[in-house]
Amino acid sequence: MRTAEIRSRFLDYFAARGHTVVPSAPLPTPDPTLLFVNAGMVPFKPYLTGEAQAPWARATSVQKCIRTLDIEEVGRTTRHGSFFQMNGNFSFGDYFKEEAISYAWELSTAPVAQGGFGLDPDRIWATVHHADDEAAELWRRISGLPQERIVRRGDEDNFWSMGVPGPCGPCSELFYDRGPALGREGGPTVDEDRYMEFWNLVFMQYERGEGTGKAGYPILGELPRRNIDTGMGLERMATLLQGVDNLYEIDETRPILDRAAELTGARYGADAEADVRLRVIADHVRTALMLLADGTAPGNEGRGYVLRRILRRAVRSVRLLGHQDPALPELLPAARDCMAASYPEVAEEFDRISQQAYAEEDAFRSTLRQGTTVLDTAVAEVKAAGGRKLPGDRAFLLHDTYGFPIDLTLEMAEEQGVEVDREGFTALMAEQRERARADARARKSGGALDTSALRSVLDAHGPTDWRAYDTLLTDSKVLALLGPAGPLPVVRAGEIATVVLDRTPFYAESGGQDSDAGALTGASVEAEVLDVQRPLPGLVTHQVRVTAGELAVGDGVRAAVDAEWRLGARQAHSGTHVLHAALRQVLGPTALQAGSYNRPGYLRLDFPWRGALGQTARSEVEEAANRALRRDLAVDVRWMTLPEAKELGALALFGETYGERVRVVEIGGAWSRELCGGTHVEHASQIGLVALTAESSVGAGMRRLEAAVGVEGFGYLARERDLVARLAEQLQAPRAQLTDRVAVLLDRLKAADQRAEELRQRAAAGRAAELAAAAADVAGTLAVTATTDGDARGLALAVRDRLPDTRPGVAVIGSDAGGKAVVAVAVNEAGRVAGLSAAVLVKSLLNGRGGGNDDVAQGGGLAVSELPGVLGRLPELLPRG
């Protein structure tokens, strides 16, 4: 049975039993404690914890999940995969243990012809919590399992909680005996490879208190409403029903592995180390496909870093197996074909997905070429000095300058028998992050807030009455004043604090749109609004600076948005939609927005694309955008359900989280139709103007367009006009002839530069000839030492090439490179035959600081003042008679 059929069979079974089928949430999660959804229950967490009322009494889903904590184990064991799918059925205060157990047993064992999975009941084992007599009795009565196949286990295995105070309860697991060929007899407590877990049923019936570990907390009592959360591993069920040994051999993974084997010439099952790499490739390529499909783009932080790491591990595994050409164009389509039956979007969006993936591979291949040389040199230096640990600053240099993930440095250093100072690297990374945080704090002019204090405000007063779509002015009440240290009773003139109001007209920063500016005024206070955020769902906070008087909890204030600011923000946000639509009109549907930011007068838009657009394409995009403004396209806003929006063709932009009801913004109907929570103009002509100001790269396969909007757009064009006028005046040429006149000047400058370079080369050649002619004879070796203001390596090679071929010769040249000494050493062929090595000489001269080969080497790091002493040591390092 194919995996896609297992998936649909599971959903159909529970749908027929009153469960609402809930689509999988995207892998990126809005939960600030998680990068990705890592369990099937994560999207249902607010309902299970009681934070929100579930819209259904019972639900079912097949949730995409990512777990990366044990990524190094991927491939080394056959039980770890970074991407997996979790089938689940959930009850929110509806049914409980008896129905959950009945459903699990019936679906697992019912014949395939009757909609079940057809597992042999005689090979199924159940585990229950040691104190859960009710579950044990239910399994015995419903399934007929003998007592010896209902195993009682402790808290570590069969009691569930989220690790924090809240819901908890016993759980029950189902295992399938795969036969004696795969391990020892005796049930799951003896061998969990032979007895594979495939379903876990969590019975949420208690509330736990504070504590650590699996059992170090008190049970406070029964929950007012008991819930069911079950998870059936889709890949594990596919492993059982397809009769294969592990998840790497099921129909959604094995074709990728087989394609990797074809590319590399490796044969799966013939070599243990090669098998590990083939499994890494299969897992990581599939995981990358799913992450890219859900809008994650490769980057250096957070989710982007995880994706980059996964892609690069896959590419490097292919290279280690001997395939040096680009591999993803062969492997990613195989992954697409595996997953499209369950997730059609991976085929529909494949052009965009593949552009980003292939660009990342191209960038990494370049990174490998540069970084590997740097790493090899650093490792050689460590070994030459008798060490076995690569310094943390060298690992940080590889990460920061060459884009080498620390994991890759660790792997490659280990292959060469060298450890990495991980602590030193981590300390430097922490310093870099702290600098970034400090910079962000300085820009925001405020400190971080305690989430628990915000939660208390939300619990006490409920959600903020948010009026940003309806008005620019509200009469409001101050519910709370907060600072970095906690609640404040009062805020005085000159102080900055976070204010929570009962209602607000201010737009909170989200969806790429900056927050509103404005003021709070009251009987005894004036305050400037600096920033507006949504730190918790439903709660809006305002960072304010009191400019006069003082602000206290309970005060009544008038909250007023700066009308000019809001107008500029609306123009910029609508302008972003227009530019996005124009981009797709010119470049095609793969130019899908991957990130944006807009504030009054300015917008930027990121999109996947390989290579710069060029002036012609940029002009076409700009023209398409402004033609839409000239046509004065209507801007309409409608609320509808998410399925209705998707049916309408509205674009759901990556990185955003949407609820059951969504806001659809249309500009010119289908021309621009996006899900969006921002503020917008009523007609496109109100945007005024969109003037592209810049295009740049923001990572492999990702471009950024920037534009000035509205009055700022006209100002930008006016400045461009004035610049052209000044150039025309200075060059004494009509505007129409400016480009020709500048081209002539550039040609003259190029010719002058070439002439200057020829003169420099002649001077250098003359200097090299003079130095070679004056070479000292040191025990039969011709030796030259000198300093230069220019290229030390180039002069060393030039001098060496002018020494006689019949005698050993060496040239050592020093130079000043930004206040640090650089020393280059070059040895001729006769010298190398006699046993001289440039690499050995440079390390001896610089106490190990250098690298290269026998022919030419270079090093540095000393003070320039030390150069004479370094050069003077050459004779004592040359062989004597």
**Binding-site residue set for Zn(2+):** 573, 577, 676, 680
Give the whole-angstrom CA distance, residue 190 versus residue 619. 69
Give how far Cα 751 sits from Cα of 294, 745, 755, 762, Å: 52, 10, 6, 17
Quote the radius of gyration of the chain (alpha carbons, Å).
Answer: 34
Q: Could you count the other beta carbons within 10 Å of the beta carbon of residue 515?
A: 23
Q: Which two tokens stand for residue 580?
A: 């996005």
Give the whole-angstrom CA distance, residue 88 versus residue 61. 5
Give the whole-angstrom CA distance, residue 105 versus residue 396. 53
Give the whole-angstrom CA distance, residue 280 versus residue 145. 38
Give the whole-angstrom CA distance, residue 15 versus residue 606. 40
User: 3-class SS at 91?
Assistant: strand
Closest of 495, 462, 466, 467 to residue 481, by C-alpha: 495
If phi over 0 gives left and psi between -120 and 50 gives alpha, with beta otherwise, what is residue 197? beta
DSSP 651: B
Give the whole-angstrom CA distance, residue 500 versus residue 656. 25
State the amino acid at position 472 in one-letter form: L
Give the whole-angstrom CA distance, residue 590 versus residue 170. 48
Q: Could you count the other beta carbons within 10 Å of the beta carbon of residue 615?
A: 9
Distance, CA of 487 to chain centre: 35
Q: Which two tokens stand for residue 223?
A: 């929950």
The sign one gets for the Cα dihedral 136, 139, 140, 141 is positive
Give the whole-angstrom CA distance, residue 833 versus residue 634. 81
CB 881 within 8 A of CB 783: no
Residues flagged as binding site: 573, 577, 676, 680
Closest of 17, 41, 37, 12 to residue 27, by C-alpha: 37
Q: Is residue 264 exposed (0-12), middle (13-18) or buried (19+ Cβ within 10 Å)? A: buried
Residue with tokens 């069969």: 158
Q: Which two tokens stand for residue 510?
A: 């989200």
Give the whole-angstrom CA distance, residue 129 versus residue 662. 42
State the amino acid at position 632 in one-letter form: D
Give the whole-angstrom CA distance, residue 774 versus residue 766. 12
> Are β-strands 503-504 and 166-177 bridged in parallel, bridged antiparallel, or unpaired?
unpaired
Q: Is residue 265 exposed (0-12), middle (13-18) or buried (19+ Cβ within 10 Å)? A: exposed
CB 696 within 8 A of CB 687: no
Q: Could you count the other beta carbons within 10 Å of the beta carbon of residue 556?
A: 11
